[in-house]
Structure 1
């Protein structure tokens, strides 16, 4: 009698494990930055900064993009490749819109005298929101790679691991941005 172990099937895919390690690292980085913000905000010469309206609009883009990437994953698993490609393209468009609106928000801050010097929220806003934008840009690059593979790929491989990793990452940067925006609005 041969006993087959299902232990291998219960293991997490290495790419997913690496993603969770990366997410934990990113969480620690942003926790450190927001903690430093809280400590520094108690100083007597702290300058409060108004959050640009562009950041609110960019939040809508990234939340909607989280829905579209989830729809793309569902469409892929259902083998609805036309809808899958469309939803990936919409996600890409919304991700680019998010970054464009972030740029407009940073430009608005600069035009309104918020600089890196002095003691205030502006320094932290540039650094924290800028680092987040870099993480979204990384997600956009991964999204472009997946889109190119679907458009010019010669062989049909229905393995959803890459898309699942990207989708999880994309949801993470979405939730992270919502947290950061609430953090900045709440603490001023």
Structure 2
């Protein structure tokens, strides 16, 4: 009799969450395309700093991938330094996004000026909230990595966090390309 491999409940929950996030952003980008055809739509250029934030979030995905690998090999010193690096890069991404929003705002791209700007703020802002949630989860991994009480080598939390973080990385790249291509 063949035994079926079961998915861990935390991984299943994470995949359900990712699926719902994908549906939300699919709806938002679809609405963006529909609204773009209206006469009062204003095109805009994204600040260059969003490209820098893209490089930062990609680097953070690399460091988290390396951290997971180090954790599975029980190289805890390396794991700790890579988790710290990932957390710092995640916070840097958030700060660069805030600077980008401030640049948009200073250039007159306010929420009430045009519906195209409102869409921009909602789409990028919601992604930012998901990154903040991921940064909080990274902070929890950071605290556990440096805790003297707990020595648990269960890789599931690190795997779940890694998958989620890579997802928000990929989502940002998709959104950036979408906003550049579909002005």
Sort the TM-score into its range (normalised by shorter chain): over 0.9
Q: 1:59 aligns with which of 54, 76, 81?
A: 54
Deviation digits for residues 20-49 of structure 1 (CA, Å, limit 9, x no counterpart): 000000000000000010000001111011
Give the conservation status (yes or no) of the 8 Å contact 1:48–1:120.
no
Matched residue, 1:72: 67
Structure 1 moving runs of 4+ over 4 Å: none
Alignment: residue pair count: 183
Q: Which residue of 2 aligns with 1:125?
A: 120
1:121-179 deviation line (CA, Å, top 9, x unaligned):
21111110000000000000000011101111413211000000000000000000000
TM-score of the aligned structures, taking structure 2 as reference length = 0.97
Distance 2:102 2:152 in 1: 43
SS in 1 for 2:160: helix
Does 2:106 match 1:82?
A: no
Unaligned segments of structure 2, at least 5 residues: none
- TM-superposed CA distance for 1:119, in Å, is 3.4
RMSD value, Cα: 1.2
Identify unmatched segments of 5+ residues in structure 1: none
C-alpha separation in 2, matches of 1:121 and 1:89: 37
Number of the residue aligned with 2:108: 113
Aligned equivalent of 1:176:
171
- For the pair 1:15 / 2:10, whether they are aligned, the reply is yes
Moved more, 49-58 or 20-29: 49-58
Q: Distance in 1 between matches of 2:8 and 2:158?
A: 13
Given the two structures, how large is their TM-score scaled by the length of structure 1? Answer: 0.94
| Higher gyration radius (CA) | 1
3-state DSSP of counterpart to 1:176: helix
For residues 153 and 141 of structure 1, the distance between their equivalents in structure 2, rounded to whole angstroms, comes to 20
Q: Which residue of 2 aligns with 1:92?
A: 87
Q: 2:63, 2:82 within 8 Å by CA — same for their partners in 1?
A: yes
